[in-house]
Amino acid sequence: MTTESPERPSRLEQEVLEILERTEAQRSPVDQIGEAVQRRKAEAQRRLQTSRPLPSRSRYLTPEILRIVGALALAIVAVGLGEFSRLLAVLTAIASLVVFFSLWFPTSRPSPSQRPRWRGRDLG
């Protein structure tokens, strides 16, 4: 018969206690998700607080208007280059047309808040 002292836990009890301590020390996936959600909310609130209203000039100089001005400037440069180099004039005119027709192609993707959503999922 083996006799163990009541003060000292058996090997099995020690292992069980170690396992219990490790599981209590680890965070559950629910806790991790909750912390991630809280971090994202805090980050979004901080971004909203630090965002400034657009200056009045940017209301008039939208990206589309800047493209039109750029296409017009390239066309004027093409006319000026026509006296010196026909090749440079043609290349600049083509660049002007590319900039002008780029108006019909979207340049930026909509932000997540602008995308259509249904039941919490993005449609696009």
Other Cβ atoms less than 10 A from the Cβ of 109: the count is: 9
64 with 37, same domain: the answer is no
Does residue 123 lie in a domain region?
no
- Give the pLDDT band of residue 38 (cuts 50, 70, 90): confident
Does residue 69 lie in a domain region?
yes
79 with 100, same domain: the answer is yes
Does residue 54 lie in a domain region?
no
71 with 92, same domain: the answer is yes
Does residue 100 lie in a domain region?
yes
Domain count, the chain: 2
Taking residues 35-61, report their average pLDDT: 74
Which range of residues forms the domain containing residue 41? 11-49
Nearest residue to 94 (alpha-carbon basis) of 73, 78, 107:
78
pLDDT tens-digit profile of 66-111? 999 999 999 999 999 999 999 999 999 999 999 999 888 876 655 5
- Using a 10 angstrom Cβ sphere, with 0-12 exposed, 13-18 middle and 19 or more buried, the burial of residue 74 is buried
Does residue 89 lie in a domain region?
yes
Q: What is the pLDDT of residue 98?
A: 94
